[in-house]
Amino acid sequence: MTLLALGVFNVTVPHLFKPKNRHTWHYRRAVPTAVRAHYKQTHILKSLQTTDDIKAAKLVTEINRQYQEEFDRLRRGLPKSLAQPTYDLALEKLHKFGLYQNAISDQSAPADIATDFLDHLADKLSALVPKAQFEGIWYNGDPIPDGLMEAVDSAALDLLHGKYRPRASAYIDDYIQLSGKTEDRKFSDEAKRALKYLLEFLPDKPPGDYTRAEVRRLISSHIGKGTVKTATLHRQLTVLRAMFNKVAKERELKTDILHPFSDFHVPGLREDSRERKDFSTEELALLRQNLIKRKPQIQSLAHLMLETGLRINECCGLKVSDVVLDVETPYLVIQKNPFRRLKTGSSRRYIPLVGVALIAVSSEHKGKAADDWLFPDYIDEVKKATKNTSASAAVNKRIRAVLGQGAPTCHSFRHSFNSRLRNVECPKDIRDELGGWASSVSDRYGSPADIKIKQRYLLKSIDAPSGVDWS
Protein backbone atom coordinates (compact mmCIF):
# COMPACT_ATOMS: atom_id res chain seq x y z
CA MET A 1 0.00 0.00 0.00
CA THR A 2 1.40 3.36 -1.06
CA LEU A 3 0.43 6.91 -0.12
CA LEU A 4 0.39 9.18 -3.19
CA ALA A 5 0.06 12.96 -3.32
CA LEU A 6 -2.40 13.53 -6.20
CA GLY A 7 -2.95 17.27 -6.48
CA VAL A 8 -4.21 18.59 -3.15
CA PHE A 9 -5.17 15.11 -1.96
CA ASN A 10 -3.18 12.30 -0.39
CA VAL A 11 -4.53 8.99 -1.66
CA THR A 12 -3.72 5.51 -0.36
CA VAL A 13 -3.33 3.08 -3.27
CA PRO A 14 -3.41 -0.63 -2.37
CA HIS A 15 -0.94 -2.99 -4.08
CA LEU A 16 1.11 -0.15 -5.59
CA PHE A 17 4.82 -0.70 -5.03
CA LYS A 18 8.13 0.74 -6.19
CA PRO A 19 11.08 -1.69 -5.76
CA LYS A 20 14.33 -0.40 -4.33
CA ASN A 21 16.55 1.33 -6.89
CA ARG A 22 13.73 1.24 -9.48
CA HIS A 23 11.96 4.22 -11.00
CA THR A 24 8.93 2.40 -12.41
CA TRP A 25 5.85 1.50 -10.43
CA HIS A 26 4.86 -2.14 -9.87
CA TYR A 27 1.78 -4.06 -8.85
CA ARG A 28 2.42 -6.33 -5.86
CA ARG A 29 -0.05 -8.61 -4.11
CA ALA A 30 0.13 -11.77 -2.05
CA VAL A 31 -1.66 -14.73 -3.62
CA PRO A 32 -4.50 -15.86 -1.31
CA THR A 33 -3.73 -19.12 0.47
CA ALA A 34 -6.88 -20.80 -0.91
CA VAL A 35 -5.66 -20.50 -4.54
CA ARG A 36 -1.89 -20.54 -4.03
CA ALA A 37 -1.52 -23.98 -5.59
CA HIS A 38 -2.39 -22.45 -8.97
CA TYR A 39 0.59 -20.05 -8.95
CA LYS A 40 4.35 -20.58 -9.08
CA GLN A 41 5.09 -17.78 -6.58
CA THR A 42 3.45 -16.71 -3.33
CA HIS A 43 3.36 -13.08 -4.51
CA ILE A 44 2.43 -11.43 -7.80
CA LEU A 45 4.88 -8.73 -8.91
CA LYS A 46 4.10 -7.00 -12.19
CA SER A 47 5.76 -3.93 -13.69
CA LEU A 48 3.33 -1.16 -14.64
CA GLN A 49 5.97 0.24 -17.01
CA THR A 50 5.35 3.82 -15.95
CA THR A 51 6.86 6.39 -13.59
CA ASP A 52 3.74 8.56 -13.64
CA ASP A 53 1.87 8.47 -10.30
CA ILE A 54 -1.61 9.12 -11.70
CA LYS A 55 -1.25 6.62 -14.51
CA ALA A 56 0.16 4.02 -12.10
CA ALA A 57 -2.76 4.50 -9.70
CA LYS A 58 -5.26 3.87 -12.51
CA LEU A 59 -3.35 0.88 -13.91
CA VAL A 60 -2.94 -0.81 -10.55
CA THR A 61 -6.70 -0.55 -9.92
CA GLU A 62 -7.53 -2.27 -13.21
CA ILE A 63 -4.87 -4.97 -12.77
CA ASN A 64 -6.06 -5.69 -9.24
CA ARG A 65 -9.63 -6.00 -10.49
CA GLN A 66 -8.50 -8.59 -13.05
CA TYR A 67 -6.56 -10.60 -10.47
CA GLN A 68 -9.45 -10.44 -8.00
CA GLU A 69 -11.77 -11.86 -10.67
CA GLU A 70 -9.19 -14.57 -11.33
CA PHE A 71 -8.97 -15.48 -7.62
CA ASP A 72 -12.76 -15.56 -7.36
CA ARG A 73 -13.04 -17.89 -10.36
CA LEU A 74 -10.48 -20.28 -8.87
CA ARG A 75 -12.29 -20.31 -5.52
CA ARG A 76 -15.45 -21.37 -7.39
CA GLY A 77 -13.59 -24.18 -9.15
CA LEU A 78 -13.62 -22.40 -12.52
CA PRO A 79 -10.69 -22.04 -14.95
CA LYS A 80 -7.98 -19.54 -14.07
CA SER A 81 -8.45 -17.49 -17.22
CA LEU A 82 -11.67 -16.09 -18.66
CA ALA A 83 -13.85 -18.63 -20.35
CA GLN A 84 -14.22 -16.13 -23.16
CA PRO A 85 -11.50 -13.91 -24.59
CA THR A 86 -11.94 -10.14 -24.75
CA TYR A 87 -13.09 -10.22 -28.39
CA ASP A 88 -16.06 -12.48 -27.61
CA LEU A 89 -16.98 -10.55 -24.49
CA ALA A 90 -16.87 -7.27 -26.44
CA LEU A 91 -19.10 -8.69 -29.18
CA GLU A 92 -21.49 -9.95 -26.54
CA LYS A 93 -21.68 -6.45 -25.06
CA LEU A 94 -22.44 -4.94 -28.48
CA HIS A 95 -25.18 -7.50 -29.07
CA LYS A 96 -26.89 -6.48 -25.83
CA PHE A 97 -27.30 -3.01 -27.38
CA GLY A 98 -28.45 -4.45 -30.71
CA LEU A 99 -25.10 -3.65 -32.33
CA TYR A 100 -22.39 -5.62 -34.09
CA GLN A 101 -18.83 -5.31 -35.44
CA ASN A 102 -18.27 -2.38 -37.84
CA ALA A 103 -21.85 -1.14 -37.26
CA ILE A 104 -20.80 2.53 -37.21
CA SER A 105 -18.03 2.31 -39.78
CA ASP A 106 -20.39 0.88 -42.41
CA GLN A 107 -23.21 3.27 -41.28
CA SER A 108 -25.78 0.48 -41.02
CA ALA A 109 -26.62 0.82 -37.34
CA PRO A 110 -29.74 2.72 -36.27
CA ALA A 111 -28.55 6.07 -34.93
CA ASP A 112 -30.58 5.88 -31.72
CA ILE A 113 -29.23 2.42 -30.78
CA ALA A 114 -25.64 3.44 -31.43
CA THR A 115 -26.22 6.60 -29.41
CA ASP A 116 -27.47 4.60 -26.42
CA PHE A 117 -24.30 2.53 -26.37
CA LEU A 118 -21.99 5.48 -26.90
CA ASP A 119 -23.74 7.41 -24.12
CA HIS A 120 -23.23 4.39 -21.87
CA LEU A 121 -19.47 4.42 -22.51
CA ALA A 122 -19.23 8.22 -22.39
CA ASP A 123 -20.77 8.25 -18.92
CA LYS A 124 -18.22 5.74 -17.68
CA LEU A 125 -15.27 7.57 -19.30
CA SER A 126 -16.27 11.07 -18.18
CA ALA A 127 -16.23 9.90 -14.57
CA LEU A 128 -12.57 8.89 -14.89
CA VAL A 129 -10.91 11.93 -16.53
CA PRO A 130 -11.09 15.73 -16.40
CA LYS A 131 -13.60 17.39 -18.73
CA ALA A 132 -10.98 18.73 -21.16
CA GLN A 133 -9.34 15.30 -21.53
CA PHE A 134 -12.72 13.62 -21.99
CA GLU A 135 -13.69 16.06 -24.77
CA GLY A 136 -10.35 15.48 -26.48
CA ILE A 137 -10.90 11.72 -26.43
CA TRP A 138 -14.58 11.66 -27.26
CA TYR A 139 -14.86 14.48 -29.80
CA ASN A 140 -11.36 14.91 -31.22
CA GLY A 141 -10.33 11.27 -31.40
CA ASP A 142 -7.43 11.56 -28.93
CA PRO A 143 -6.09 8.13 -27.89
CA ILE A 144 -7.51 6.63 -24.71
CA PRO A 145 -4.70 6.14 -22.15
CA ASP A 146 -3.82 2.52 -21.39
CA GLY A 147 -5.74 1.06 -18.50
CA LEU A 148 -8.27 3.88 -18.34
CA MET A 149 -11.20 1.92 -19.74
CA GLU A 150 -12.01 -1.69 -19.03
CA ALA A 151 -10.55 -3.92 -21.72
CA VAL A 152 -13.97 -5.16 -22.82
CA ASP A 153 -15.38 -1.63 -23.16
CA SER A 154 -12.37 -0.47 -25.12
CA ALA A 155 -12.57 -3.48 -27.45
CA ALA A 156 -16.32 -3.02 -27.95
CA LEU A 157 -15.80 0.62 -28.94
CA ASP A 158 -13.08 -0.31 -31.42
CA LEU A 159 -15.17 -3.15 -32.87
CA LEU A 160 -18.08 -0.78 -33.35
CA HIS A 161 -15.95 1.65 -35.35
CA GLY A 162 -14.14 -1.09 -37.29
CA LYS A 163 -10.86 -0.18 -35.58
CA TYR A 164 -10.34 -3.26 -33.42
CA ARG A 165 -6.63 -4.07 -33.40
CA PRO A 166 -5.55 -5.85 -30.21
CA ARG A 167 -1.96 -5.73 -29.08
CA ALA A 168 0.21 -8.83 -29.25
CA SER A 169 -0.35 -9.61 -25.56
CA ALA A 170 -4.11 -9.84 -26.11
CA TYR A 171 -3.77 -12.58 -28.72
CA ILE A 172 -3.12 -15.41 -26.26
CA ASP A 173 -6.67 -15.98 -24.96
CA ASP A 174 -8.09 -15.87 -28.48
CA TYR A 175 -5.39 -18.19 -29.78
CA ILE A 176 -5.94 -20.79 -27.07
CA GLN A 177 -9.70 -20.75 -27.52
CA LEU A 178 -9.65 -20.77 -31.34
CA SER A 179 -7.19 -23.69 -31.26
CA GLY A 180 -9.48 -25.67 -28.95
CA LYS A 181 -6.72 -25.88 -26.31
CA THR A 182 -8.38 -24.28 -23.28
CA GLU A 183 -7.52 -27.29 -21.11
CA ASP A 184 -4.03 -27.82 -22.53
CA ARG A 185 -1.69 -26.17 -20.04
CA LYS A 186 1.43 -27.03 -22.03
CA PHE A 187 0.01 -25.33 -25.14
CA SER A 188 -0.91 -22.16 -23.24
CA ASP A 189 2.44 -22.07 -21.42
CA GLU A 190 4.22 -22.35 -24.77
CA ALA A 191 2.23 -19.41 -26.16
CA LYS A 192 2.97 -17.31 -23.06
CA ARG A 193 6.66 -18.18 -23.26
CA ALA A 194 6.79 -17.11 -26.93
CA LEU A 195 5.12 -13.81 -26.09
CA LYS A 196 7.64 -13.25 -23.31
CA TYR A 197 10.46 -13.65 -25.84
CA LEU A 198 8.83 -10.92 -27.91
CA LEU A 199 7.99 -8.42 -25.17
CA GLU A 200 11.39 -8.64 -23.48
CA PHE A 201 12.79 -6.58 -26.36
CA LEU A 202 9.91 -5.00 -28.28
CA PRO A 203 6.90 -2.90 -27.22
CA ASP A 204 3.44 -4.44 -27.00
CA LYS A 205 1.51 -3.41 -30.12
CA PRO A 206 -0.66 -4.90 -32.89
CA PRO A 207 1.34 -7.49 -34.92
CA GLY A 208 0.92 -5.53 -38.15
CA ASP A 209 2.69 -2.53 -36.58
CA TYR A 210 5.96 -4.39 -36.04
CA THR A 211 8.60 -3.85 -38.70
CA ARG A 212 11.04 -6.31 -40.23
CA ALA A 213 13.84 -4.26 -38.70
CA GLU A 214 12.32 -4.83 -35.25
CA VAL A 215 12.07 -8.58 -35.83
CA ARG A 216 15.72 -8.67 -36.91
CA ARG A 217 16.63 -6.69 -33.78
CA LEU A 218 14.63 -9.12 -31.65
CA ILE A 219 16.49 -12.09 -33.13
CA SER A 220 19.94 -10.51 -32.83
CA SER A 221 19.22 -9.37 -29.24
CA HIS A 222 18.36 -12.87 -28.09
CA ILE A 223 21.30 -14.41 -29.93
CA GLY A 224 23.61 -11.67 -28.64
CA LYS A 225 22.71 -12.50 -25.04
CA GLY A 226 23.99 -16.02 -25.61
CA THR A 227 21.44 -17.51 -23.22
CA VAL A 228 19.04 -18.80 -25.87
CA LYS A 229 19.76 -21.52 -28.40
CA THR A 230 18.94 -20.62 -31.99
CA ALA A 231 16.61 -23.63 -32.25
CA THR A 232 14.70 -22.44 -29.16
CA LEU A 233 14.38 -18.93 -30.57
CA HIS A 234 13.19 -20.31 -33.90
CA ARG A 235 10.55 -22.38 -32.11
CA GLN A 236 9.27 -19.35 -30.15
CA LEU A 237 9.04 -17.23 -33.30
CA THR A 238 7.17 -20.07 -35.01
CA VAL A 239 4.63 -20.08 -32.16
CA LEU A 240 4.23 -16.29 -32.48
CA ARG A 241 3.67 -16.64 -36.22
CA ALA A 242 1.01 -19.32 -35.69
CA MET A 243 -0.67 -17.22 -32.99
CA PHE A 244 -0.80 -14.02 -35.03
CA ASN A 245 -1.88 -15.82 -38.21
CA LYS A 246 -4.73 -17.73 -36.61
CA VAL A 247 -6.24 -14.90 -34.60
CA ALA A 248 -5.90 -12.29 -37.34
CA LYS A 249 -7.53 -14.64 -39.87
CA GLU A 250 -10.38 -15.82 -37.63
CA ARG A 251 -11.15 -12.33 -36.29
CA GLU A 252 -10.77 -10.78 -39.77
CA LEU A 253 -8.14 -8.32 -38.59
CA LYS A 254 -7.11 -7.39 -42.11
CA THR A 255 -4.46 -4.87 -41.03
CA ASP A 256 -2.69 -7.48 -38.92
CA ILE A 257 -2.85 -10.49 -41.24
CA LEU A 258 0.26 -9.04 -42.86
CA HIS A 259 2.95 -9.00 -40.18
CA PRO A 260 6.74 -9.48 -40.33
CA PHE A 261 6.68 -12.72 -38.31
CA SER A 262 5.22 -14.48 -41.37
CA ASP A 263 8.71 -14.84 -42.77
CA PHE A 264 11.82 -14.65 -40.58
CA HIS A 265 15.40 -15.91 -40.62
CA VAL A 266 17.44 -17.00 -37.60
CA PRO A 267 21.16 -16.81 -38.52
CA GLY A 268 23.20 -19.91 -37.70
CA LEU A 269 20.13 -21.96 -36.90
CA ARG A 270 21.13 -25.06 -34.85
CA GLU A 271 24.84 -24.41 -35.39
CA ASP A 272 25.11 -23.73 -31.64
CA SER A 273 23.52 -27.02 -30.61
CA ARG A 274 25.80 -29.44 -28.85
CA GLU A 275 25.77 -33.04 -30.00
CA ARG A 276 24.10 -35.06 -27.29
CA LYS A 277 26.52 -37.44 -25.61
CA ASP A 278 25.67 -41.14 -25.57
CA PHE A 279 26.02 -43.29 -22.48
CA SER A 280 28.83 -45.80 -22.84
CA THR A 281 28.12 -49.52 -22.55
CA GLU A 282 29.89 -49.52 -19.18
CA GLU A 283 27.83 -46.57 -17.91
CA LEU A 284 24.58 -48.26 -18.92
CA ALA A 285 25.67 -51.43 -17.11
CA LEU A 286 26.30 -49.42 -13.92
CA LEU A 287 22.95 -47.65 -14.19
CA ARG A 288 21.14 -50.98 -14.57
CA GLN A 289 22.34 -51.95 -11.11
CA ASN A 290 20.21 -50.78 -8.21
CA LEU A 291 23.11 -48.97 -6.59
CA ILE A 292 21.01 -46.48 -4.62
CA LYS A 293 18.01 -47.86 -2.73
CA ARG A 294 16.58 -44.50 -1.64
CA LYS A 295 13.52 -43.22 -3.56
CA PRO A 296 12.97 -46.31 -5.73
CA GLN A 297 10.53 -44.42 -7.99
CA ILE A 298 13.45 -42.40 -9.38
CA GLN A 299 15.36 -45.61 -10.07
CA SER A 300 12.30 -47.05 -11.82
CA LEU A 301 12.02 -43.97 -14.02
CA ALA A 302 15.70 -44.19 -14.99
CA HIS A 303 15.46 -47.91 -15.78
CA LEU A 304 12.31 -47.41 -17.83
CA MET A 305 13.87 -44.63 -19.93
CA LEU A 306 17.10 -46.59 -20.33
CA GLU A 307 15.51 -49.70 -21.87
CA THR A 308 12.63 -48.11 -23.79
CA GLY A 309 13.89 -44.73 -25.03
CA LEU A 310 10.72 -43.08 -23.72
CA ARG A 311 10.56 -39.31 -23.28
CA ILE A 312 10.32 -38.11 -19.68
CA ASN A 313 6.74 -36.85 -20.14
CA GLU A 314 5.74 -40.21 -21.66
CA CYS A 315 7.03 -41.97 -18.54
CA CYS A 316 5.41 -39.56 -16.09
CA GLY A 317 2.07 -39.75 -17.88
CA LEU A 318 1.74 -43.54 -17.72
CA LYS A 319 -1.33 -45.00 -16.08
CA VAL A 320 -1.52 -48.51 -14.69
CA SER A 321 -4.02 -49.29 -17.46
CA ASP A 322 -1.26 -48.50 -20.02
CA VAL A 323 0.73 -51.48 -18.70
CA VAL A 324 0.02 -55.00 -20.03
CA LEU A 325 1.90 -57.64 -18.00
CA ASP A 326 -0.22 -60.78 -18.05
CA VAL A 327 0.76 -61.78 -21.61
CA GLU A 328 3.63 -63.66 -23.17
CA THR A 329 5.32 -60.39 -24.22
CA PRO A 330 4.67 -57.65 -21.62
CA TYR A 331 4.35 -54.19 -23.12
CA LEU A 332 3.35 -50.55 -22.64
CA VAL A 333 0.79 -48.56 -24.62
CA ILE A 334 1.95 -44.98 -25.12
CA GLN A 335 -1.17 -42.92 -25.72
CA LYS A 336 -2.60 -39.49 -25.07
CA ASN A 337 -4.38 -38.67 -21.84
CA PRO A 338 -5.76 -35.44 -20.27
CA PHE A 339 -2.53 -34.83 -18.33
CA ARG A 340 -0.08 -35.40 -21.13
CA ARG A 341 -0.25 -34.82 -24.84
CA LEU A 342 1.98 -36.66 -27.30
CA LYS A 343 4.64 -34.81 -29.26
CA THR A 344 3.53 -36.14 -32.65
CA GLY A 345 0.93 -38.49 -34.07
CA SER A 346 3.58 -41.20 -34.35
CA SER A 347 4.26 -40.95 -30.61
CA ARG A 348 1.35 -43.32 -29.96
CA ARG A 349 2.94 -46.77 -29.96
CA TYR A 350 3.47 -50.16 -28.27
CA ILE A 351 6.74 -50.76 -26.40
CA PRO A 352 7.78 -54.23 -25.19
CA LEU A 353 9.14 -54.35 -21.65
CA VAL A 354 12.51 -56.04 -21.23
CA GLY A 355 15.34 -56.16 -18.70
CA VAL A 356 15.33 -53.62 -15.88
CA ALA A 357 12.40 -51.76 -17.48
CA LEU A 358 10.18 -54.80 -16.96
CA ILE A 359 11.35 -55.15 -13.35
CA ALA A 360 10.79 -51.42 -12.71
CA VAL A 361 7.30 -51.31 -14.21
CA SER A 362 6.23 -54.51 -12.48
CA SER A 363 7.33 -53.02 -9.16
CA GLU A 364 5.52 -49.70 -9.68
CA HIS A 365 2.44 -51.51 -11.03
CA LYS A 366 1.97 -53.69 -7.95
CA GLY A 367 -1.01 -52.92 -5.72
CA LYS A 368 -2.39 -50.06 -7.86
CA ALA A 369 -5.78 -49.73 -9.53
CA ALA A 370 -6.14 -49.46 -13.31
CA ASP A 371 -6.88 -45.73 -13.16
CA ASP A 372 -3.92 -44.94 -10.88
CA TRP A 373 -0.79 -43.22 -12.13
CA LEU A 374 2.31 -45.39 -12.44
CA PHE A 375 4.50 -42.58 -11.09
CA PRO A 376 2.14 -40.50 -8.89
CA ASP A 377 4.96 -38.39 -7.42
CA TYR A 378 5.35 -36.76 -10.81
CA ILE A 379 1.70 -35.88 -11.43
CA ASP A 380 0.22 -32.47 -10.59
CA GLU A 381 -3.49 -33.10 -9.99
CA VAL A 382 -4.26 -29.40 -9.54
CA LYS A 383 -2.67 -28.25 -12.79
CA LYS A 384 -3.60 -31.48 -14.62
CA ALA A 385 -0.06 -31.91 -15.89
CA THR A 386 2.99 -34.09 -15.55
CA LYS A 387 5.93 -32.81 -13.51
CA ASN A 388 8.46 -33.31 -16.28
CA THR A 389 11.02 -30.84 -14.97
CA SER A 390 11.00 -32.34 -11.47
CA ALA A 391 11.24 -35.88 -12.82
CA SER A 392 14.08 -35.01 -15.18
CA ALA A 393 16.02 -33.23 -12.41
CA ALA A 394 15.56 -36.19 -10.05
CA VAL A 395 16.76 -38.74 -12.62
CA ASN A 396 19.72 -36.55 -13.61
CA LYS A 397 20.71 -36.27 -9.96
CA ARG A 398 20.57 -40.06 -9.64
CA ILE A 399 22.69 -40.48 -12.80
CA ARG A 400 25.35 -38.10 -11.42
CA ALA A 401 25.31 -39.94 -8.08
CA VAL A 402 26.23 -43.17 -9.89
CA LEU A 403 28.45 -41.92 -12.74
CA GLY A 404 29.79 -38.64 -11.36
CA GLN A 405 29.64 -35.05 -12.59
CA GLY A 406 29.83 -34.56 -16.35
CA ALA A 407 27.74 -37.67 -17.07
CA PRO A 408 25.13 -37.52 -19.84
CA THR A 409 21.62 -36.45 -18.83
CA CYS A 410 18.48 -38.57 -18.96
CA HIS A 411 17.66 -37.04 -22.36
CA SER A 412 20.61 -39.02 -23.72
CA PHE A 413 18.82 -42.29 -22.97
CA ARG A 414 16.83 -41.85 -26.19
CA HIS A 415 19.90 -41.23 -28.31
CA SER A 416 21.73 -44.19 -26.76
CA PHE A 417 18.63 -46.34 -27.22
CA ASN A 418 18.57 -45.59 -30.95
CA SER A 419 22.32 -46.23 -31.28
CA ARG A 420 22.02 -49.60 -29.56
CA LEU A 421 19.15 -50.67 -31.83
CA ARG A 422 21.13 -49.60 -34.87
CA ASN A 423 24.07 -51.66 -33.67
CA VAL A 424 22.00 -54.84 -33.53
CA GLU A 425 20.82 -54.12 -37.08
CA CYS A 426 17.25 -53.38 -36.08
CA PRO A 427 15.39 -52.23 -39.25
CA LYS A 428 14.89 -48.47 -39.44
CA ASP A 429 11.09 -48.68 -39.59
CA ILE A 430 11.00 -50.64 -36.33
CA ARG A 431 13.53 -48.25 -34.71
CA ASP A 432 11.42 -45.30 -35.74
CA GLU A 433 8.23 -46.90 -34.45
CA LEU A 434 9.82 -47.81 -31.10
CA GLY A 435 11.10 -44.29 -30.59
CA GLY A 436 8.02 -42.51 -31.95
CA TRP A 437 10.08 -41.05 -34.77
CA ALA A 438 8.07 -42.57 -37.63
CA SER A 439 6.37 -40.20 -40.05
CA SER A 440 3.37 -42.49 -40.05
CA VAL A 441 2.54 -45.47 -37.89
CA SER A 442 0.84 -48.62 -39.04
CA ASP A 443 -1.35 -50.71 -36.74
CA ARG A 444 0.76 -53.74 -37.62
CA TYR A 445 3.24 -52.86 -34.89
CA GLY A 446 0.48 -53.21 -32.33
CA SER A 447 -0.18 -56.83 -33.16
CA PRO A 448 1.12 -59.57 -30.81
CA ALA A 449 3.40 -60.96 -33.51
CA ASP A 450 5.10 -57.64 -34.17
CA ILE A 451 5.42 -56.81 -30.47
CA LYS A 452 7.34 -60.07 -30.26
CA ILE A 453 9.62 -58.95 -33.11
CA LYS A 454 10.30 -55.65 -31.35
CA GLN A 455 10.99 -57.52 -28.11
CA ARG A 456 13.65 -59.61 -29.84
CA TYR A 457 15.57 -56.52 -30.98
CA LEU A 458 15.22 -54.87 -27.57
CA LEU A 459 16.64 -57.93 -25.83
CA LYS A 460 19.57 -57.97 -28.25
CA SER A 461 20.17 -54.23 -27.65
CA ILE A 462 20.72 -54.72 -23.89
CA ASP A 463 24.27 -55.91 -24.47
CA ALA A 464 24.88 -53.88 -27.61
CA PRO A 465 27.58 -51.18 -27.70
CA SER A 466 26.28 -47.63 -27.42
CA GLY A 467 27.40 -44.54 -29.25
CA VAL A 468 28.65 -46.06 -32.51
CA ASP A 469 26.85 -44.88 -35.58
CA TRP A 470 26.89 -47.52 -38.33
CA SER A 471 24.64 -45.63 -40.69
> Which spans in 100-206 are helix H?
111-126, 131-140, 151-160, 171-178, 185-199
Rounded to whole angstroms, the maximal C-alpha distance in the chain is: 85
Q: What are phi and psi of 465, to 5 degrees?
A: -65, 150
Residue type (1 letter), 284: L
Residues pairing with 46 in the sheet: 27
Four-residue CA torsion sign, 203, 204, 206, 208: positive
* Spatial CB neighbours of 448, under 8 Å, sequence gap ≥ 6: 327, 328, 329
Over the chain, what is the mean pLDDT? 83
Q: Tell me the domains of the chain and their CATH numbers.
A: 1-79 (no CATH), 86-160 (no CATH), 281-461 (1.10.443.10)
Q: Please, are residues 313 and 342 in contact by the beta-carbon 8 Å criterion?
A: no
Four-residue CA torsion sign, 127, 129, 135, 137: negative
pLDDT in tens, 217-252: 989 887 877 667 888 889 999 999 999 999 999 988
Q: Is 355 helix (H, G, I), strand (E, B) or coil?
A: helix
> pLDDT value at position 108?
54
Q: Write out the H or E segment, with its range, that includes residue 49.
A: none
Q: Please, are residues 255 and 303 in contact by the beta-carbon 8 Å criterion?
A: no
CB atoms within 10 A of CB 147: 19
Strands (E), 38-178: 43-47
3-state helix, strand, coil in the chain (%, to 5): 50, 10, 40
> What is the separation, in whole angstroms, between the first and last Cα of the chain?
66
Q: Please, are residues 318 and 332 in contact by the beta-carbon 8 Å criterion?
A: yes
Which of 216, 221, 176 minimizes the C-alpha distance to 201? Answer: 221
Taking 70 as the pLDDT cut, the residues of the chain under it are: 1-10, 73, 76-84, 102-114, 146-147, 183, 226-227, 272-276, 340-347, 438-449, 467-471
User: For the purposes of burial, counting CB atoms within 10 Å of the CB of 201, is it exposed (0-12), middle (13-18) or buried (19 or more)?
Assistant: middle
Chain-centroid distance of CA 230 in Å reads 19
> pLDDT value at position 62?
79
Which of 433, 459, 466 minimizes the C-alpha distance to 447? Answer: 433
